[in-house]
Structure 1
Amino acid sequence: MNSNKKAAKIVGSLFILAAVTAVMGLLFYNPILNGPDYLIKGSEHANQVITGALMELILVVSAIGTATVMFPFLRKYNETIALWHVCFRFLEAIIITIGVISVLSLLTLSREYVEAGAPDIASFQASGILLKAVHEWTFLLGPNFMLGINTMMYSYIFFKSKLVPRFIPILGMTGATLIFLAALLEMFGVIQQISVWGAILALPVAANEMILAVWLIFKGFNESALATISTKKKTFGSSA
């Protein structure tokens, strides 16, 4: 029981850490991702941009951590979905990492632009637009598209297994559907990535992660549900 509670606390803490570092990363990236003079501002705020990259790398580690620590609990109910969840979470982390690399490459471009003095601005802007586009697409496919799939998988198992109160996975499945819908709408240009509608559609999944995190930290997984699942697996295994 103590090990289960410890694992639950780790998962909850990692969810909170992931949310905080994701927001901080975007804030630190502001000089190089926003504004027409990003080729100059990026170099001027190099340490801030690098700090933003570090925040996103912590996000990557946190995301992988939640999946791997939850895996032993999710597999008790459905090993296939639990394995899919780990694989898709790793894919989400890889996509985010590609976005980090694009921002750091943009920072290098900014430094080269400033050091060149009076460069051919057109070629630098073309490269900058491409690198910013890579980050925008990774931001859409990772924290939106893949997040929707991942959240749906673990929320479904939580709902069926009753490892946490059912209102939490219901919110999770609702949020997963909406953030996945947001990703599709953004892909087809119906709404902007950073917009009021984007924020509204992302709110339920963000609320689910925070509520789930707090519940796991203070309450942990439902021990009786874990015992029931283990008993069913043993019974099924012995009958087979």
Structure 2
Amino acid sequence: MMPPKLAAKIVGVLFILAAVTSIIAAFILYKPILNNPDYLVEGAKQANQVILGTVMELTLVVSAIGTATTMFPILRKYNETIALWHVCFRFLEAIMIAVGIISVLSLVTLSRAFVAGGATDTAAFQASGTLLTAIHDWTFLLGPLFLLGINTMMYSYIFYRSRLVPRFIPILGMTGAILVFTCALLVMFGVIEQVSFWGGILALPVAANEMILAVWLLIKGFNDSALASLSVNNTKPTTITAYM
């Protein structure tokens, strides 16, 4: 296992990297193909920009997996089952994001074929584009909202109980996890839009938690006394009591 101080800094950097790359990809680089009525033409024109966005999201995938695997040896000292669940669900979140990336790249291919073919059979291209966009939208919902809420709740719970970081951080994390999970359900049932005022409000606490946690880990790291306590508990012999 790597030293806890190094692990803390790596996790902090990865959390920041994940946030920055996801924002740049979703709200800037993907605009020509996901937020443009003329995406079948603009997607081909701005293909390099969109592909750069997919590279950003691939960085997000790597960062998400990196945070989970780097924290696992530390989280498992308190609860190995929850720590393992966290890794598995984080991988599932990364898979959802990767499927969304594939759908965006497929839209680029579709756009290039549309332009190269002289815009013939527009209806068929529009139908394919609508399907690929829907796949991206659903993965964008299930990954960064639904599964993110579950993941955040698990590591925040361990941080809260173990005191590896100040308790106000995991409290914010658990609150944010509940709100972002609620947001995902509301979007799924059509109550609110994901990219909307209420969607932003409900997602804000979990985003704030990740940034505060990242900065804390970069500057302070994990609580040394809490780590020592976890290590002592893990080295205690198991006592087996027989009942007559």
Question: Normalization by structure 2: what TM-score?
Answer: 0.96
Q: How does 1:19-58 map to 2 (within 5 A)?
A: 19-26=19-26, 27-58=28-59
Query: What secondary structure sits across from 1:239 in the alignment?
Result: coil
Q: Deviations over 1:191-229 (max 9, x none)?
A: 001100000000000000000000000000001001111
Q: Give me the whole-angstrom Cα distance separating, in 2, the residues matched to 1:238 and 1:149.
A: 31
Q: Does 1:109 align with 2:110?
A: yes
> Which residue is equivalent to 1:172?
173
> Which residue is equivalent to 1:213?
214
Q: Give me the whole-angstrom Cα distance separating, in 2, the residues matched to 1:158 and 1:21.
A: 25
Q: Give me the whole-angstrom Cα distance separating, in 2, the residues matched to 1:195 and 1:232.
A: 46
Query: What secondary structure sits across from 2:3 in the alignment?
Result: helix
Q: How does 1:189-208 map to 2 (within 5 A)?
A: 189-208=190-209
Q: Does 1:127 align with 2:133?
A: no
Q: Give me the whole-angstrom Cα distance separating, in 2, the residues matched to 1:192 and 1:212.
A: 28
Query: What secondary structure sits across from 2:74 in the alignment?
Result: helix
Q: Does 1:9 align with 2:9?
A: yes
Q: Deviations over 1:153-211 (max 9, x none)?
A: 00000000000000000000000000000000000000001100000000000000000
Q: Does 1:137 align with 2:127?
A: no
| Alignment RMSD | 1.2
> Which residue is equivalent to 1:185?
186
Question: Normalization by structure 1: what TM-score?
Answer: 0.98
Instruction: Give the structure with the higher percent helix.
Output: 1
Q: Give me the whole-angstrom Cα distance separating, in 2, the residues matched to 1:119 and 1:128.
A: 14
> Which residue is equivalent to 1:71?
72
Q: Deviations over 1:27-56 (max 9, x none)?
A: 100000012100000000000000000000
Shift of 1:238: 4.5
- Across the two proteins, how many residue pairs are aligned to each other? 239
Structure 2: stretches of 5+ with no match in the other structure: none
Shift of 1:239: 3.2
> Which residue is equivalent to 2:228?
227
Q: Give me the whole-angstrom Cα distance separating, in 1, the residues matched to 2:89 and 2:231.
A: 26
Q: Give me the whole-angstrom Cα distance separating, in 1, the residues matched to 2:152 and 2:98.
A: 19
Q: Give me the whole-angstrom Cα distance separating, in 2, the residues matched to 1:225 and 1:118.
A: 63
What is the identity, as a one-letter code, of the residue corresponding to 1:94?
I
Q: Deviations over 1:97-118 (max 9, x none)?
A: 0000000000000000000113
Shift of the 4–118 alpha-carbon distance from structure 1 to 2, 3 Å rule, reads closer
Shift of 1:22: 0.3
Query: What secondary structure sits across from 1:201 in the alignment?
Result: helix
Q: Give me the whole-angstrom Cα distance separating, in 2, the residues matched to 1:87 and 1:95.
A: 13
Q: Give me the whole-angstrom Cα distance separating, in 2, the residues matched to 1:228 and 1:34.
A: 51
Shift of the 118–210 alpha-carbon distance from structure 1 to 2, 3 Å rule, reads closer
Q: Give runs of ≥4 in structure 1 deviating > 3 Å.
A: none
What is the identity, as a one-letter code, of the residue corresponding to 2:221?
G
